Structure 1
Amino acid sequence: MYAEGISLEKEADAANRNEEIRTVPILISFLIAGFVGLFGETALNMALSDLIQIFAVSPSTIQWLTTGFLLTLGILVPVSGFLLQWFTTRQLFVGALLFSIVGTFIAAIAPSFSVLLLARCIQAMGTALLLPLMFNTILVIIPPSRRGATMGLIGLVIMFAPAVGPTLSGLIIQSLSWHWIFWISLPFFILALVYGMVYMQNVTTPTRPKIDLLSVLLSTLGFGGIVFGFSNAGEEGGWGNPVVLTSLVIGGIGLLLFVLRQLKMEQPMLNMRAFTYPMFVIGLLLVFVGFMVILSSVILLPLYLQNSLLLTTFAAGLILLPGGLINGLLSPLMGRLFDKYGPKWLVIPGLVVAVITMFFFHGLSTETPIWLIVALHIALMVGIAMVMMPGQTNGLNQLPPELYPDGTAIMNTLQQVAGAIGTAVAISIMAAGQNHYLSAVADPQNPVHTPFAYAAGVQEAFLFGLAAAIFGLIISLFIKRVRV
């Protein structure tokens, strides 16, 4: 009863604050900053083939430009729930934008692979602060009855920006150099910072809980070790590589110790009580699957289009553009449908569509017609739009207000870890498929075999996406609408 009383008092306080809060300018600030930040998460995918030649590195090394970004998110986002209780909304927003601006500038002038990787990690620090802050702010200022529609707008950021990233970057690379991906992003970050400094409001009061350095260390070892291990599976030695096995073991032990410590602490860095809410857990798993499928696909398809079908970056970008645009346009609609009908009649059909498209992607070859690739990509984007936002919103709606920072931190952490794992495993399987194909031909060094080898690798990699989608479909059968 006492806990319920505290929860009601917090909701009442939030409602009183909402009367003074200008919701629209705050949302605009997050939409601008979030879109540009997440655009950078996949924008370099179209340039990967060129960067392999420019920096003279292997495909498994170049994918660190994506995986390193996600690894940084996986390490820092778990701490975000703690940071949300230590700093004001404005402080975190400004800090996030400053990290993004510095990282983008360094990337724009990067003369080498190592400098570009460092810049990507600095960019990720900004995104790691921004994403949980955005979700937590929405949960505080938007009543449950309207969260679906608002989260649909946020879907423009979470799904639309990574989806159109390869298309826009393909256009940029066709006309300019890869550096301009960052030069063009920079003024938008500055605009977001200036707009946010004018309109962003503090919507929570910092409580400044005690810092537990051991929890921070265990979180870093746990999430960082797991993502690092998966990422290195594409290197020489594959899954039997001692570095891979050691990283995964350290990560698993670190994560276990982190969870056990959080359960014993009076003021945990990340409150594990969120996992006692079943719809939150189901929503978490659906987001995990959705992000794994989408990020593995948006790194595989550009490589396939450029190396198997021998298309230019611009042509490949145009092929992926319709799916990205439709995904963004559908997100607000899915939000309104969620508010009206709940998640079940969106999530289950969406995953059925994802399973079917993954099955057909598994059959890609050097002779697959362009129209079929466009249609499959559109279908995948529609299916994922039906899954991500409804599953995420329904799960967060079940949490009491005092668990909002922890719930958003947990969901955003596993979302980014899922993306890192999906990217790394997809590239690893693709590389293994290429090597298997080339080992069976008479002259593996002959470049005439390259398109067929890439197609064979992509076929095997999409089996991983198919398995993930089937798992998500099974999970979705248990989803129920949270009444708030």
Structure 2
Amino acid sequence: MNGGETIAGRPPEPGPGGPTGEPVLHKGPILFSLILGAFAAILNQTLLNVAVPKLMADFNVSASTVQWLSTGYLLTNGIVIPMTAFLIGTFTTRQLFLGAMFLFGVGTLLCALAPDFPVMLVGRIVQAAGAGIMMPLMMTVILNLYPPETRGRAMGTIGIAMFFAPAVGPTLSGWIVQNYSWRVLFYIVLPVAVIDLVVASIFLKNVTERTFPKFEFWSFVASTIGLGSLLYGFSEAGNKEWGATEVVASIAVGVVFLILFVVRELTSAHPLLNLRVFRYGGFTIAAVVSCVANMAMFGGSLLTPIYVQDVRGYSALDSGLILLPGAILMGIMSPISGALLDKIGIRPLAIVGLIITVVTTWELGRVNLQTPLGDIMWIYTLRMFGLSFIMMTIMTAGLNHLPRQYNSHGTAAANTVRTIAASLGTSLLITIMTDRSNMHYQQLVTSVQTNNPFLNITLSQFAHALAAMAPMTAQQANALVTYLLYGQAQLLAAVEGIDDSFLVAAGIALVALVLSLFLRNVKRARASAPAPAEGTPPAVMEGTRRKVAVLRRTLRPRPEG
């Protein structure tokens, strides 16, 4: 799978290294500055969810209003990420990364000092603008620095930050919110951003090529309206019904403008986001599998805290502690999975990882009100172990199929479709959970209200016993028994709704497993490139001495005599 070309006749391209392919000697400090920035951005995303009730109380806003802190962040990411290919071609690596970290730091400071909700929302949008640039830029830098045969390990190292931050976030935020002000959540992220600004200004090198592409204004407009409307529709579908007028209209507008955006990009000489990357079959199938897996992962990961906190009644800190081992294991396994990708290729990793994901997600779909939390923790941890084989590796394997000049467009396209898939998966599974919980509740209520002599006798005996034990009338005892009965029905219905959502997530993961059978590895150049005719010197670009060595080994031996 390592190195080389995937399509015969691909034009020559610079090797891994700097903007013109020259080798970069000290890659470690560059990698560290990228990891630190990714850690700050992802930690920030995972900290805020626990603080939502505190924010509602302090700012005196409703749940639907405070939800805009997440919706605004998501929409800004969706608008910024498709533009990153243009930004990478316009600015140097240092300029773009330092600018993104500066935006993120300013947004974090605004959130920490926000006197009211509008300022808080502006801070979140500024944060999202910086974070949206960082992730595709980070992946592009890795693709430029490392050849395909060692990218897996490098991407896996980046995955440590991407998975360790979610491991720390819920537990840390739960403890802080219980003991301190929610503003501390932003004060602890701010120093990390400042330190990374200093580290990156010292060690980060320019490893991306400035091509100064033309800015496609109408492509930007179509992308902004299309992705913004689509992501907003998916986000609201999780809170309202999919048939709500606002949801349907938003998704319809999004689809129309995204179609216009695709047509514009495929016909433009200077596309804002070059969608021709999807002509590379290896990249396309990897993007599809990654999207389907993301739908199962993000939606499924949201259901477990809902079960632990809302159904079982445990605190956010307890929920974070239950999820902590799985996230830590995922961070530990990330570089190991990357090294395995470099050694054995993507298909075995994807198949094993998705089999584990399907089985464990199915097991989470069988929980009840008596399931020990220890069992939940072990199943969830094993699920994260399976996901560690696929989350970074599949997309890395797909990006390996692209020529260097498409790296920035490939990372932008990959992150865009993954953002859409994660939003769709979350909204879909939350909607299924809500609808199925309501259905199960109505079924339970109907079964209670129908003539059931045994149940009526049991409830009557319980009410009489309660009235005899406590200072209350028989009418009050009956009302209390009815209240407890319906409350228990709500809990049972909620568990069954969560179970149904997990089973759907398992089905989605099963689809990803089937699709993973079509994943393929990058062919080595010396295996795929035809031998040149005798006496014809190979065409090699200046500065690509590594390729010269490979091509020389493929020359036919000169006939003797």
Query: How high is the TM-score relative to the length of structure 2?
Result: 0.80
Report the counterpart of residue 369 of structure 1 in structure 2. Answer: 372
Q: Structure 1 residues 157, 249: closer, same or farther in 2, change over 3 A?
A: same
Whether 1:228 and 2:242 are equivalent positions in the alignment is no
Q: Which residue type is aligned with residue 290 of structure 1?
A: A
Report the counterpart of residue 315 of structure 1 in structure 2. Answer: 318
- Which stretch of structure 1 is more off in the superposition, 218-227 or 450-459? 450-459
Q: Structure 1 residues 188, 153: closer, same or farther in 2, change over 3 A?
A: same
Report the counterpart of residue 295 of structure 2 in structure 1. Answer: 292
- Cα deviation code 1:390-417 (max 9, x no counterpart): 2111100000111111100001111222
Report the counterpart of residue 501 of structure 2 in structure 1. Answer: 461
What SS does the corresponding residue of 2:269 show, helix, strand or coil?
A: coil
- Structure 2, unmatched stretches of 5+, are 1-6, 446-481, 525-561
Q: Pairwise mapping of residues 54-453 of structure 1 onto structure 2 (< 5 A)?
A: 62-236=66-240, 238-439=241-442, 441=445, 451-453=491-493
Q: Structure 1 residues 14, 32: closer, same or farther in 2, change over 3 A?
A: closer
Q: Structure 1 residues 20, 324: closer, same or farther in 2, change over 3 A?
A: closer
Whether 1:478 and 2:481 are equivalent positions in the alignment is no
Q: Structure 1 residues 42, 136: closer, same or farther in 2, change over 3 A?
A: same
CA displacement at 1:289 relative to structure 2: 2.4
1:408 & 1:188 partners in 2: Cα distance?
25
Aligned residues: 481
Equivalent residues of 2:402, 2:410 under 8 A apart: yes
CA displacement at 1:279 relative to structure 2: 1.3
Q: Which residue type is aligned with residue 342 of structure 1?
A: G
Q: Structure 1 residues 274, 301: closer, same or farther in 2, change over 3 A?
A: same
**RMSD of equivalent CA atoms:** 2.6
CA displacement at 1:337 relative to structure 2: 0.7
- Which stretch of structure 1 is more off in the superposition, 299-308 or 449-458? 449-458
1:244 & 1:102 partners in 2: Cα distance?
33
Q: Structure 1 residues 14, 188: closer, same or farther in 2, change over 3 A?
A: closer
Q: Structure 1 residues 375, 471: closer, same or farther in 2, change over 3 A?
A: same
Aligned match of 2:33 in 29, 51, 65?
Answer: 29
Normalized per residue, the structure richer in helix is: 1
Q: Structure 1 residues 93, 13: closer, same or farther in 2, change over 3 A?
A: closer
Q: Structure 1 residues 312, 383: closer, same or farther in 2, change over 3 A?
A: same
Equivalent residues of 1:74, 1:414 under 8 A apart: no
Q: Which residue type is aligned with residue 513 of structure 2?
A: L
CA displacement at 1:85 relative to structure 2: 0.6
Q: Which residue type is aligned with residue 350 of structure 1?
A: G
Q: Which residue type is aligned with residue 285 of structure 1?
A: V
Q: Which residue type is aligned with residue 393 of structure 1?
A: T
Q: Structure 1 residues 196, 390: closer, same or farther in 2, change over 3 A?
A: same
CA displacement at 1:340 relative to structure 2: 0.6
Q: Which residue type is aligned with residue 516 of structure 2?
A: S
Q: Which residue type is aligned with residue 178 of structure 2?
A: Q
Fraction of identical pairs, as percent: 38
Q: Structure 1 residues 64, 434: closer, same or farther in 2, change over 3 A?
A: farther
Equivalent residues of 2:18, 2:206 under 8 A apart: no
What SS does the corresponding residue of 2:391 show, helix, strand or coil?
A: helix
CA displacement at 1:453 relative to structure 2: 4.8
- Cα deviation code 1:167-189 (max 9, x no counterpart): 23223223323322211111111
1:319 & 1:61 partners in 2: Cα distance?
29
Whether 1:11 and 2:15 are equivalent positions in the alignment is yes
Q: Structure 1 residues 448, 117: closer, same or farther in 2, change over 3 A?
A: farther
CA displacement at 1:355 relative to structure 2: 1.0
- Structure 1, unmatched stretches of 5+, are none
Report the counterpart of residue 474 of structure 2 in structure 1. Answer: none
1:189 & 1:55 partners in 2: Cα distance?
26
